[in-house]
């Protein structure tokens, strides 16, 4: 089996070559990636607990799905492919922003990503790939923030970095609905 190649990029997301995945993470080289955040109709976020076999972030909670496109693969195509591979479903996705981050993670690896962030809505059957995902749950953003505050080591570093920007997007989309639901109780 060939080793996965990642797309190396400039700070403007211009492809400048490829390199083997683990070498990229050992050297901390900027590469193209994507993160997916799925919500239900009540505005709860679908989280995944990463599988124990993952090379970093094992057994940590994170966003619904994240990965890297293959060379010559469009980011949106890769996002749909990987959502299906990890979570066992596909849904309409919207690319809402991109950002660059650099963080040292487990096993002396460095994530240095130009990360394309996608959101979507889904409430159907979830069929996780046990090689990728240990567990999953839908959770209110306020509860996620409370848990991160109490147990920050239970969550991936990139998830904690991007959550405030996702929350800002979420407030524009879901907050009024959640307020109405809360006032009815």
Catalytic residues, which ones?
66, 113
Phi first, then psi, for residue 44 (nearest 5°) are -80, 140
What gap in Å lies between CA 11 and CA 99, rounded to an integer? 9
Class of residue 183 by CB neighbours under 10 A (exposed 0-12, middle 13-18, buried 19+): exposed
Cα-based angle 178, 159, 44 (whole degrees, multiple of 5): 20
DSSP conformational letter for 92: -
Phi first, then psi, for residue 168 (nearest 5°) are -60, -45
Tell me which residue of 157, 34, 27 sits closest to 99, measured CA to CA: 34
Phi first, then psi, for residue 182 (nearest 5°) are -65, -40
DSSP H or E stretch at residue 155: none
To the nearest 10°, report the CA torsion of 151, 170, 30, 11: -140
């Amino acid at each position: 089996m060939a080793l996965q190649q990642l797309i190396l990029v400039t700070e403007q997301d211009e492809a400048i070559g490829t390199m083997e995945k683990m070498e990229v993470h050992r050297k901390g080289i900027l590469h193209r990636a994507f993160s997916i955040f799925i919500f239900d109709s009540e505005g709860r976020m679908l989280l995944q607990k990463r599988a124990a076999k993952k090379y970093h972030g094992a057994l940590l909670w994170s966003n619904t799905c994240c990965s890297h496109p293959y060379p010559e693969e469009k980011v949106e195509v890769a996002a749909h492919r990987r959502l299906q591979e990890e979570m066992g479903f596909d849904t309409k996705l919207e690319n809402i922003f991109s950002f660059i981050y650099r963080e040292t993670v487990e096993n002396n690896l460095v994530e240095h990503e130009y990360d394309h962030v996608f959101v979507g809505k889904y409430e159907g059957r979830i069929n996780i790939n046990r090689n990728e995902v240990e567990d999953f749950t839908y959770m209110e953003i306020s509860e996620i923030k409370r848990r991160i505050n109490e147990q920050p080591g239970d969550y991936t570093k990139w998830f904690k970095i991007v959550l405030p920007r996702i929350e800002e997007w979420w407030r524009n989309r879901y907050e009024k609905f959640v307020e109405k639901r809360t006032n009815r109780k």
